[in-house]
Amino acid sequence: MISDEVTDAVPLVYDDSVDMPVLFRDGPAKRPFKQWRTAKHRAWTTPGAFPDKDGWYAPTTTWREIVKAATEVGRDVTPWLHQAPQLARGELVARVSPLYAYLGIHDVTPKHPLPHTSGRRLTVNAVYEHGTERSAKSMLGYRLGMTMAEWACRSLMGLGQTWHIEDGGPVPALESAFKDPVRTLPDLWGLHEAENTYWLIEAKGGNVRKNRLTEGWEQLEEGTKVLHAYAHRRILCGASVQPQGDLFVTIDHDHHPGQPTLPVNGKSTPAPSSPEDHLGESDDALLATARAQMLIYLALRSAPPSRLRTVALTADRSTRRRPVDGLTTPLERDPITRDMRAAVRAEAPSEDEQARRSITRAIGLDDFLTYRIPGTELHLGMSRRLFAACDQLHYEDQAIATRTPGLRAEDQRIADEPADEEAEEQRRRTQRRVFREAQEQERELIQERLRDAYVDGGDRQWRDLLPGQAEPRLDLDDQPDLLEAATPETYLALRRDDLPHHRR
């Protein structure tokens, strides 16, 4: 008989694949010393769902998937970037650079190996281990904690879009309690479509010990006091990394029964777990996706025209629906796109740009706008339909920001003495609350305009959408060193030689 541990799953062979030890348990406990290497891990057999058993698991993911999580999680800073969109590039660098600076990849032979794993795990590199100051380690800890919480909840367990809880939480009637500055609340919340349950999420990262996890659990308990009447799951994600060890994730959790989630704007259907799969029929999904991609939109919008390019992806979005092991589809899995690109290259010479554009659309390819973020080798981009929707949302937000006193950076006045940091934080939170409340008041009108922009965007040229009215070069070159990935409406790529240092 064949052992139950042998599966017919296709082995993952991507250059950036890594195995991620994840421990599920009922509450904070001591750090599981060495168990990330010595415990008998289960294969991850519940993609897009919460597992039915606690214990160690060893799912395999890609560095691309982790980087995507890093670019999208965290406080939304776009209200301050309307007059200086080029600063979005710096924010993206800040979100990914600590991971590149201090993480590495090493080969691992666990005590109880699983089939079809990559045999590689993330760890800290020599710079972090021997030469990094405590404050810099704290910076990595924060960014790592947020990134891995986003990855675990969304890519691994199928949670929908995550939001900062300080923006008001999941229940409108409880907004004032979630925005109460006196409460110490968890970081994020989201809605899981399959469970139809709210998730409250607290992220911890770095050299995570029990005392820090206990603090995080207390923050979740405070969130439960606000949300107690509604069914919700508490998730405490600890991303722990230390010298001579693997990066591993602990998921401390419990589930609270209660009332079902509220309808979204009068609709009984919960928000989709992968909003991009539903942009055609859901205005809520379109708004959520545009909001989540605003930082990347601003980076694209403010880029020098000569630095922009477009890449061809199949226009059939069904080939890039949510995969079983994450949000992104590596282009290595998409032979249709590769073959169609090759067909365009064969039919039209590279110097005939117009002919290539015409053939690209005629055979069923769509061109996504992309930009290499300065200071990184990370290429980010999106479709013209999503760009058009983001462009409209940017316009709507600008109008709201203009009416929000003191929100824009140019409206600030520098006092003679440095302001109290806590008082400044409360002032900024108040401004954000006023801004978000205005957005909600105009939500229906904004959604209607976004829908029109999204539909019209499919037929527009890039020169009509970009501020400089330039048509970016269409890049159809075969680049074996470029690791590409895409969702239905977004694009991400990085170079093989820009992966974290591989230590053997």
What the block records as the tokens of 88 is 């979005």
What the block records as the tokens of 92 is 């993206």
Q: Would the pLDDT of 272 be above 50? A: no
Helix axes 63-72, 134-150, angle to 10 degrees: 100
Closest CA to 486 of 319, 354, 302, 329: 329
What the block records as the tokens of 447 is 């959604």
**In the chain, pLDDT over 90 holds for what percent of residues?**
57
User: How does residue 491 score in pLDDT terms, banded at 50, 70 and 90?
Assistant: very high
Q: What integer pLDDT is reported at residue 290 of this predicted model?
A: 94
List pLDDT tens digits, range 119-136. Answer: 999 999 988 888 888 888
Going by the DSSP 8-state scheme, the letter that residue 187 receives in this structure is S
Q: In whole angstroms, what is the distance from residue 145 CA to residue 296 CA? A: 21
Extract the runs of DSSP E, i.e. beta strands, from 338-481: 365-372, 379-382, 473-475
Q: Would the pLDDT of 66 be above 60? A: yes
Burial of 397 (0-12, 13-18, 19+ CB in 10 A): buried
Summary mean pLDDT of the chain = 87
User: How does residue 431 score in pLDDT terms, banded at 50, 70 and 90?
Assistant: confident
Q: What is the DSSP string of 127-161?
A: HHHHH--HHHHHHHHHHHHHHHHHIIIIIIT----
User: Residues near 488 by Cβ (< 8 Å), separated by ≥ 6?
Assistant: 276, 277, 279, 317, 320, 321, 383
User: How does residue 1 score in pLDDT terms, banded at 50, 70 and 90?
Assistant: very low
Question: Where on the phi/psi map is residue 48: left (φ > 0), alpha (ψ -120 to 50), or beta?
Answer: left
Q: Would the pLDDT of 371 be above 70? A: yes
Helix or strand or coil: residue 309? strand
Q: In whole angstroms, what is the distance from residue 364 CA to residue 380 CA? A: 22
Count Cβ neighbours within 10 Å for each residue of 28-62 and write b for 16 or more, e otherwise.
beebbeeebbebebbbbebebebbeeeebbbbbbb
Lowest mean pLDDT among 21-25, 308-312, 439-443: 439-443
What the block records as the tokens of 20 is 């991620």
Q: Would the pLDDT of 445 be above 60? A: yes
What the block records as the tokens of 80 is 């301050």
Closest CA to 323 of 371, 290, 275, 274: 274
Q: In whole angstroms, what is the distance from residue 459 CA to residue 476 CA? A: 21
User: How does residue 173 score in pLDDT terms, banded at 50, 70 and 90?
Assistant: confident
In sign, the C-alpha dihedral spanning 315, 317, 318, 324 is positive
* Residue/partner pairs of 133-139 with CB below 8 Å, 24 or more apart: 136/102, 137/102, 137/206, 137/207, 138/206, 139/98
Mean pLDDT throughout 330-342? 91
Burial of 489 (0-12, 13-18, 19+ CB in 10 A): buried
Beta bridge partners of 367: 312
What number of other Cβ atoms are within 10 A of residue 472's Cβ?
A: 22
User: Residues near 237 by Cβ (< 8 Å), separated by ≥ 6?
Assistant: 145, 148, 149, 152, 153, 201, 202, 203, 204, 249, 250, 251
Q: Residues 107, 2: contact at Cβ < 8 Å?
A: no
Helix or strand or coil: residue 235? strand
94 vs 422, more confident:
94
Q: In whole angstroms, what is the distance from residue 42 CA to residue 240 CA? A: 20
Q: Residues 91, 143: contact at Cβ < 8 Å?
A: no
Q: What integer pLDDT is reported at residue 33 of this predicted model?
A: 83
Q: Would the pLDDT of 428 be above 90? A: no
Q: How far is CA 193 from CA 181, 223, 258, 443, in A?
A: 30, 20, 16, 22
Q: What integer pLDDT is reported at residue 419 of this predicted model?
A: 63
Mean pLDDT throughout 173-180? 84
The highest-confidence range among 175-184, 260-269, 277-286, 407-416, by mean pLDDT, is: 277-286
Q: What integer pLDDT is reported at residue 326 of this predicted model?
A: 87
Q: In whole angstroms, what is the distance from residue 156 CA to residue 447 CA? A: 29
Q: For the chain, how many residues are written?
A: 504
In sign, the C-alpha dihedral spanning 211, 213, 216, 222 is negative
Q: What is the DSSP string of 23-87?
A: EEESS-----TTHHHHS-PBP---TTS--SS-EEE--EEEHHHHHHHHHH-S---GGG-SS-TTH
List pLDDT tens digits, range 411-425. Answer: 555 454 556 777 777
In single-letter form, the type of residue at position 87 comes to L
Angle, alpha carbons 144-192-263 (nearest 5°): 130
Q: Would the pLDDT of 69 be above 70? A: yes
User: How does residue 482 score in pLDDT terms, banded at 50, 70 and 90?
Assistant: very high
User: How does residue 13 score in pLDDT terms, banded at 50, 70 and 90?
Assistant: low
Closest CA to 436 of 85, 146, 164: 164
User: Residues near 401 by Cβ (< 8 Å), separated by ≥ 6?
Assistant: 79, 82, 407, 408, 435
